[in-house]
Amino acid sequence: MASFTVSTVALPADAGALGLSACPGQGGILGTLVAGGRQAKLERELGAIRHWGAFALLTLLEPSEFELLGVPRLGDAARDTGLVWHHFPIADFCAPGVKFERAWQAHRATLLERLVKGERVAIHCRAGLGRSGTVAARILVELGLPPEHAIRSVRTARPGALESPEQVDYVRARRWEDMGE
């Protein structure tokens, strides 16, 4: 059985860190049986995120993916573990769009402030690569890193991150600024 991994992306100026992971608790039938049940697997993997030091968990799944991945109560389970849970939906293999932007703007200032103070935030999508890597790189840019440096930092911590040309372009061109950021 593969172990659950949180990849650490360091932030500039000795700030906190971002942690990238696959969706906690996801798995097929065999994985669920071996893990002793889906709920136990979800609790164990959320516990690993808390043990890593996260105060918050950013979920980038679209609403339809919760059932598909077998984690319909992920948000409740995250809160029960002591994590502040935020749902910022992004379509798989895509860059963030308007739905993400609206949700992000409502919590952006608080999350960035806590990161700068040294706290840690975990980010996940399905595999912890495309959407998670894109949002992590965006946060690094918002904290002052040049886009290429941000992309390189995320890919060093989580090889394969930022999976599509659209995701890379979103960070390089600061596409969020076109959406009113």
Active-site amino acid positions: 125
Distance (Å, rounded) from C-alpha 134 to C-alpha 128? 10
Q: Residue 91: what residue type?
A: A
What is the residue whose two structure tokens read 């946060």?
139
Q: Residue 109: what residue type?
A: A
Q: Please tell me the number of Cα atoms within 13 Å of 87 on its side-chain side.
A: 14
Long-range CB contacts (< 8 A, 24+ apart) of 169-177?
A: 169/95, 170/95, 170/96, 170/134, 170/138, 171/134, 171/137, 171/138, 171/141, 171/147, 172/147, 172/148, 173/147, 174/141, 174/147, 175/95, 175/96, 176/96, 176/101, 176/138
3 state SS of 123:
strand
Distance (Å, rounded) from C-alpha 120 to C-alpha 52? 8
